[in-house]
Structure 1
Amino acid sequence: MPDTSRRELFKAVAAGAMVAPLSVLAQPAVAGSCASPPLRWGQGPEGQRIADLGDGTYLNPIVAGDHPDPTILKDGDDYYMTFSSFYSYPGLVIWHSTDLVNWAPIGPALHKTLGDIWAVDLCKHDGRYFIYLPANPTGKGWSIFVIWADDIAGPWSEPIDLEIDGCIDPGHIVGEDGKRYLFVNGIRRVRLRDDGLATDGALEPAYSPWRYPDDWVTENFAPEGPKLLRHGEWFYLITAVGGTAGPVTGHMVIAARSRSIHGPWEHCPQNPLVRTQSEAEPWWSRGHATLVEGPAGDWWMVYHAYENGFRTLGRQTLLEPIEWTADGWFRALGGDLSRPLRKPAGGKASAAGFALSDDFSGDRFGTQWAFHNPGPDERKRARYDNGVLRLKASGASPIDSSPLTCVVPDRSYEVEVTMAPGMGAEAGLLLFYNNKAFIGVGFDDTTIKNFQYAEELVWARAPRAAGPVRVRLNNSNNVVTFHYSHDGGRSWQLHPTRMEVSGLHHNVFGGFLSLKIGIYAAGRGEVAISDFRYRALDG
């Protein structure tokens, strides 16, 4: 596809994205954080926070909300990035930037259901794009799959199982011998066939990672997330150790280098290069890094972290400057990440974020909406009908259904949606972590239901008027309030139960997920969904 056509496609897919911040959005400092004065982000679509402050600086995260295990590709003047998608399908949404700070989605690369999808690697070789992805399609064991495309915007191939059993976190590199390799957790290595679509040898040990002192507070050793690049005469291997979650001081970034992809590897004398030192910092469990060259030839590190006080948002994507030192190593320069940093030089303005409000006049599956842990034919449950999304019922409640979910980028926000459950159907608006951790309200033909921490409070059921219902969810710094209206939003009824959700995250429920907006349809028949609106709030 010509570059001009590709850019037009990006503009169309990222409809509603902002090229530059309209203003600056105030946010209060988190209790105990080192942020003073209060943090202030750029304001994008619907008031969503974006990193670009409009004055040549940016404030992390560069991609807000649940975007973990970032893998980034520099392709000429363009940058592409994708993330772990776990149980969300369609999945592996690819994002685009020209300045490393402002990012907007292109669309999903993966449509076939493969179960849980963890840290992937996006690369380009001989003009073709590849995504190497760990998946657990049966729930009984991991393998590495690959999909490929001749254009970043797709279409992408069907997944091919490389049969690298029991492995996750692939990292692609071309060795000095011209051969292609994947490094995986461990840290182990396997040679690939020249076309990258099959292995060409056995899995073997590659590197024994640097070990931190035994008295450091970490989750576990867990060497993972190997990302590699060739810079000058050296190969550099960037690895995560210390555990992905758990204690906030656990996850960290380390490096090693070798003149050959086959080693020997020497540890960086400055390890760890990135690590959260205390709970007072604004970003916790920092790790899983990739190095990338900026538009003007300077260098940067992209990685993920949890936000202090908002683990519910999942692991978000951060950008930190680095510099190469005279001894051939590199060091991180970000310092206090509660403060703005200078943007990469030489980048052109590009779109940032995208509007989450949806009139359901077009298909936004994969870019905005995804089913959680769907069956192979789950997508057939949804059909568009003149501005209405008709969702076929599944399961008896959110506990055994596959709700429609949307990633949340902001600390505080408000959403509204109209739902009309058909005879025998039940619909509801949720904040959904997984089928064992969610809150929300539901509506069937005659009854209002209340779900508090994955359990319906049967005693709290209340009668309701017939017809469509408009529902409002307000999440203000982890305190959630529901309202509902039976007259199209002209008058509102406060739901009597408020809930606090700061504990709905990985360290309590596992799974490495985030708390997402969810819409469920259960029972029999179908539910008509219309006029979904999102608005970020201060605070």
Structure 2
Amino acid sequence: MTAPWTADTGDGHYRNPILYADFSDPDVIGVGDDFFMTASSFNRVPGLPLLHSTDLVNWRLVGHALERLRPEDFYRTPRHGCGVWAPALRHHDGRFWIVYPDPDHGIYVTTSDDPAGTWTEPRLILPGSGLIDPCPLWDDDGNTYLVHGWAKSRCGFNNRLTAYRMRPDLTGPLDTGTVIVDGDSIPGCRTLEGPKWYQHDGWYWIFAPGGGVQHGWQYAMRSRDVLGPYEPRIVLTQGDTTVNGPHQGAWVQTPAGESWFLHFQDLHAYGRVVHLQPMTWDGNGWPVIGDRGAPVRRHRKPATTTHTPRPFAGTPEWTWPANPEPGWSTRLPDADGLRLLCRPGDDLRKAPAVLGRRLPGPRVRAETTVHLDAGIGARAGLTVLGQAYCWIGLEQRPGGPVLVCRTADAAGEAERDVSPPVPVDRPVRLAVTVADGAITRFAADSGTGWTQYGPPVQATPGHWIGATLGLFALGSHGHADFGPLVIAASEEP
């Protein structure tokens, strides 16, 4: 079985993206010979994924810092576009720190002594609406600061960065905040957000994206004083490449002294995939990212102590679109099978009980089996879910289960059949193939071989996230048993 995407080419080089999966707004740090990454998770639960690498190319998922979204009751139903926006990951005073924003509630902090272990309950340190994309800085002089951006959708303005002096343990601010960068004063600047704060070579640095998700660019800004003024320079743009909107990420140094920059690219239904760019410094002390400020597609790997190829792997990541209730899913005795309890719902976009995975590559085939034991009207199946969606699976009718394939083409639109229902009398194998351009094709085997159902369907992103590959069981009572979800590369173009 071939992995859907491998960045390590096996010859001392890598290809971008290093993660062909929706890990938006990545932040990365180096601790000794190890690198750790977190990313935005929005309304996915659990949130704040933690990934580990020893070479910045091969990553594995090791856990999550946020088991449930806060406030608890607010996230009992899917809140698309809400939840965890761009976080910052830091290592300070022997602990790992994540500061993350919820644009509707404020800025939180959580800490741990082990990224793969237990994280503290998130503490709200700056309450308010519209505060996004925070990053702390423990200054060499002993002072502590935090900078953040603003979401116009919540507070009516954006394009500026505000900083606070903070208590050293980040439990709260020591002042009311100061605007240290006003994007409106920078020619051509718009949607300035996502700041990451560093000290280097006698300067304070803020790396921040501008221009928006799909067509933006990356700034580096420097100042001799922590609170500015900051001198901006654009250091990464699309140029003549196909890598749109290359920005919003992290600068990291290796033990060998090399600098690298990680950022995302918005690929619509595939989500915001992660790229790795080489970074050097010019004679005036400014960063040079990629190939003279444009993204590279292929490059030699970072010089690190470990070069063992390790494709994206680790803990299988299942997430819900809202805080789940106990017992919604249980493991079946035979290895990786799952039992999902039927939960009320009609529109999959509004249902909290859809168990999902990120799409892991450009060409993917996912297979499972399903057996439905539930009341009349219950449904269970395999879906590719975004602002529109399609699914294949079983529906319980008075005469027994039928195999159906359905789609909802636009938000709020009711589902419709895209193939005639077929009576079945046994568990059914289900499959979906995602081909280039996120074109999906659904198929099933009810005992006579694989048959395609419905026409090809264009997958769509969700709200700030890529499409979700999901399993679900909806109905008033009963359950559905799924076999292991087997995901591999597809050969379909």
User: 2:471 aligned with 1:513, yes or no?
Assistant: no
Q: Distance in 2 between matches of 1:333 and 1:442?
A: 45
Counterpart residue type for residue 26 of structure 2: P
1:250-261 equivalences in 2 (<5 Å)? 250-261=215-226
1:135-174 equivalences in 2 (<5 Å)? 135-136=102-103, 141-166=104-129, 167-174=131-138
Equivalent of residue 404 in structure 1, options 355, 362, 367? 355
User: 2:234 aligned with 1:282, yes or no?
Assistant: no
Distance of aligned partners of 1:210 and 1:294 in 2 relative to their CA distance in 1, 3 Å threshold: farther
TM-score, with normalisation over the residues of structure 1?
0.79
Equivalent of residue 339 in structure 2, options 387, 390, 398? 390
Report if the CA contact (8 A) 2:270-2:359 is conserved: yes
Q: Distance in 1 between matches of 2:126 and 2:33?
A: 35
Q: Distance in 2 between matches of 1:459 and 1:232?
A: 61
Counterpart residue type for residue 194 of structure 2: G
Counterpart residue type for residue 467 of structure 1: R
2:45 match: 89
2:276 match: 319
Q: Distance in 1 between matches of 2:388 and 2:306?
A: 42
Q: Distance in 1 between matches of 2:8 and 2:430?
A: 32
1:328 match: 285
1:431 match: 384
Report if the CA contact (8 A) 1:60-1:337 is conserved: no
Deviation at 1:197, TM superposition (A): 2.6
Counterpart residue type for residue 312 of structure 1: A
2:164 match: 190
Counterpart residue type for residue 480 of structure 1: T
Q: What SS does structure 2 have at the residue aligned with 1:312?
A: helix
Query: Per-residue displacement from partner, 1:207-229 (whole Å, max 9, x unpaired)?
Result: 22486655xxxxx8111010011
Report if the CA contact (8 A) 2:99-2:107 is conserved: yes
Equivalent of residue 464 in structure 1, options 423, 426, 446? 423
Q: Distance in 1 between matches of 2:238 and 2:418?
A: 45
Q: Distance in 2 between matches of 1:292 and 1:439?
A: 40
Deviation at 1:134, TM superposition (A): 0.8
Distance of aligned partners of 1:346 and 1:354 in 2 relative to their CA distance in 1, 3 Å threshold: closer
Off by >4 Å, runs of 4+ in structure 1: 210-214, 335-338, 458-461
Q: What SS does structure 1 have at the residue aligned with 2:369?
A: strand
Distance of aligned partners of 1:399 and 1:254 in 2 relative to their CA distance in 1, 3 Å threshold: closer
User: 2:61 aligned with 1:110, yes or no?
Assistant: no
Distance of aligned partners of 1:59 and 1:354 in 2 relative to their CA distance in 1, 3 Å threshold: closer
Percent identity, aligned pairs only?
27
Q: Distance in 1 between matches of 2:27 and 2:36?
A: 8
Moved more, 316-325 or 385-394: 385-394
Report if the CA contact (8 A) 1:129-1:149 is conserved: yes
User: 2:17 aligned with 1:61, yes or no?
Assistant: yes
Q: Distance in 1 between matches of 2:487 and 2:481?
A: 18
Deviation at 1:351, TM superposition (A): 5.5
Distance of aligned partners of 1:459 and 1:194 in 2 relative to their CA distance in 1, 3 Å threshold: closer
Query: Per-residue displacement from partner, 1:37-89 (whole Å, max 9, x unpaired)?
Result: xxxxxxxx733212111111111111111111000111111110011111111
Deviation at 1:381, TM superposition (A): 0.6
Deviation at 1:355, TM superposition (A): 5.4
1:486 match: 446
Q: Aligned residue pairs: how many? A: 453
User: 2:91 aligned with 1:134, yes or no?
Assistant: no
Q: Distance in 2 between matches of 1:65 and 1:163?
A: 31
Q: Distance in 2 between matches of 1:528 and 1:393?
A: 11
Counterpart residue type for residue 304 of structure 2: G
Q: What SS does structure 1 have at the residue aligned with 2:146?
A: strand
Q: Distance in 2 between matches of 1:409 and 1:157?
A: 29
1:522 match: 474
1:446-461 equivalences in 2 (<5 Å)? 446-454=401-409, 455-458=414-417, 460-461=419-420
Report if the CA contact (8 A) 1:274-1:332 is conserved: yes
Deviation at 1:501, TM superposition (A): 1.2
Counterpart residue type for residue 21 of structure 2: G
Report if the CA contact (8 A) 1:65-1:407 is conserved: yes
Q: Distance in 1 between matches of 2:422 and 2:360?
A: 34
Distance of aligned partners of 1:453 and 1:334 in 2 relative to their CA distance in 1, 3 Å threshold: farther
User: 2:178 aligned with 1:204, yes or no?
Assistant: yes
1:303 match: 263
Q: Distance in 1 between matches of 2:224 and 2:195?
A: 17
Counterpart residue type for residue 513 of structure 1: I
2:155 match: none
Q: Distance in 1 between matches of 2:296 and 2:261?
A: 17
1:17 match: none
Counterpart residue type for residue 133 of structure 1: Y
Distance of aligned partners of 1:257 and 1:355 in 2 relative to their CA distance in 1, 3 Å threshold: closer
User: 2:302 aligned with 1:344, yes or no?
Assistant: yes
2:190 match: 221
Report if the CA contact (8 A) 1:90-1:370 is conserved: yes
Distance of aligned partners of 1:327 and 1:493 in 2 relative to their CA distance in 1, 3 Å threshold: closer
Q: Distance in 2 between matches of 1:514 and 1:501?
A: 13
Query: Per-residue displacement from partner, 1:257-311 (whole Å, max 9, x unpaired)?
Result: 11221222223xxx31111236xx321111113211123101111111124xxx2
Q: Distance in 1 between matches of 2:63 and 2:117?
A: 9
Q: Distance in 2 between matches of 1:152 and 1:338?
A: 30
Q: What SS does structure 2 have at the residue aligned with 1:378?
A: coil
User: 2:451 aligned with 1:499, yes or no?
Assistant: no
Equivalent of residue 371 in structure 1, options 296, 299, 320? 320
Query: Per-residue displacement from partner, 1:475-498 (whole Å, max 9, x unpaired)?
Result: 2223322221223xx622331x12
Distance of aligned partners of 1:459 and 1:416 in 2 relative to their CA distance in 1, 3 Å threshold: closer
1:99 match: 55
Q: Distance in 2 between matches of 1:410 and 1:155?
A: 30
Q: Distance in 2 between matches of 1:199 and 1:338?
A: 40
Distance of aligned partners of 1:315 and 1:152 in 2 relative to their CA distance in 1, 3 Å threshold: same
Report if the CA contact (8 A) 2:374-2:480 is conserved: no
TM-score, with normalisation over the residues of structure 2?
0.86
Distance of aligned partners of 1:458 and 1:473 in 2 relative to their CA distance in 1, 3 Å threshold: closer
Query: Per-residue displacement from partner, 1:187-245 (whole Å, max 9, x unpaired)?
Result: 0012221112322222221122486655xxxxx81110100111121111111111123
